[in-house]
Structure 1
């Protein structure tokens, strides 16, 4: 593993551990923010990901000469 990846892995691991202990002590406060975070997640999802799953087929709903028989 390259040196940069080791530092990234170490920083991510320490972040997860720190988040665990902070949430363990302040669970009631974090749970109180959950509805607001859910409401904030919706516009952020649309801002960064758009409508993702709406792929329209060009030929959908159109008939061809073969379909008219």
Structure 2
């Protein structure tokens, strides 16, 4: 049976004990940082929300085939559109 190089039996970094420990420490540190600075975060919340919109467009702009994947001929002729 042929297996591709992409398939491996090793778990990803986040499923290893070191990755889980790092994620746990990051979550705990983030919780305490947010808890101590909640007043500052609330002041910037509208700006962070507005900043998230263009970032999502940049990161997800090429999903579902991107903008250029639509064909020019959609099956309709000029007579069908009237």
TM-score normalised by structure 2 residue count: 0.56
Deviation of the 1:44 alpha carbon: 0.5
Higher relative contact order (CA 8 A, sep 6+): 1
Paired positions, count: 60
Correspondence list, 1:47-58, <5 A: 47-50=58-61, 58=74
What runs of 5+ residues in structure 2 fail to find an aligned partner? 1-10, 65-69, 77-82
2:19 corresponds to 1:34: no
Structure 2 Cα separation of the partners of residues 7 and 30 of structure 1: 30
Q: 2:32 aligns with which of 3, 10, 21?
A: 21
What runs of 5+ residues in structure 1 fail to find an aligned partner? 63-69
Correspondence list, 1:57-68, <5 A: 58=74, 62=76
TM-score normalised by structure 1 residue count: 0.66
